[in-house]
Amino acid sequence: MIIMDSRERVYATFRGEEVDRLAYVDFFWPETVERWEREGLPRGAFLQDYFGMDIYHFGIDISPRYEPILIERTDKFDIVRDSFGVKVKMWRGRSGTPHPVDAPVKTLEDFKELIEPLLDPELPFRISSSRYPFRGDIERAIRKFQERFFVFGSILGPFEYARHILGESVDKILVYFYKDPEMVGYIFRTLGRFLSS
């Protein structure tokens, strides 16, 4: 069997072809990396190289870009209004998935007022914009990482985006499909157009 580089391995996987080994990528909580460093991982190691990963992803901020606001702080938790406008409860001093407390979108009018105007792919702070001032930096970074990895941009899909701004768990958002299909349809179509631009 031929030894493949990371890009060949991922492309062959997508085409359903035989590969020399499974393509690998993983993501670690900061606390995990800190523990590994205490146990001997070289401090500041580039984990994709260190663990022989095949994929490098750029996280792309597709949120409405609201300025996060700290609303309340306790000894264990922070209550924050995040960049999507969702009020979330999150651990202080440790990683974890934030728990939604209050959603910005409860009606179609909320979505049209609070979210939709900020979903313009041509706003200059969005990397999709022809006016984005640092496009050259992104292109150079991607080319450089492509020398060693398969590179992709990571974004939320329409379902996860809608679930977050509605501030609901998966089971509860399904109720919206039944109770207000017009609202859900409009939100999904709007998010789909934005996310595919």
pLDDT tens-digit series, residues 18-61: 999 999 999 999 999 999 999 999 999 999 999 999 999 998 99
State the residue range of the domain holding 67.
Answer: 54-195
pLDDT at residue number 169: 76
pLDDT at residue number 167: 81
Q: Is residue 17 part of a domain?
A: no
Q: Is residue 156 part of a domain?
A: yes
Cα 19–Cα 21–Cα 23 angle in degrees, nearest 5: 90
Q: Is residue 81 part of a domain?
A: yes
Q: Is residue 21 part of a domain?
A: no
pLDDT at residue number 172: 78
Indicate if the alpha-carbon torsion angle 150, 155, 157, 159 is positive or negative.
Answer: positive
Q: Is residue 105 part of a domain?
A: yes
Q: Is residue 37 part of a domain?
A: no
CA distance 122 to 127: 9
What is the helix (H) or strand (E) element at residue 8, kind and residue range?
Answer: helix 6-14
Give whole-number Cα distances, 28 to 40, 51, 90, 91, in Å.
16, 12, 18, 17
pLDDT at residue number 173: 84
CA distance 65 to 63: 5
Domain count, the chain: 1
* pTM of the predicted structure, to 2 decimals: 0.85
Which residues of the chain fall short of a pLDDT of 70? none
Half-sphere exposure in the Cβ direction for 53 (13 Å, CA): 17
Q: Is residue 9 part of a domain?
A: no
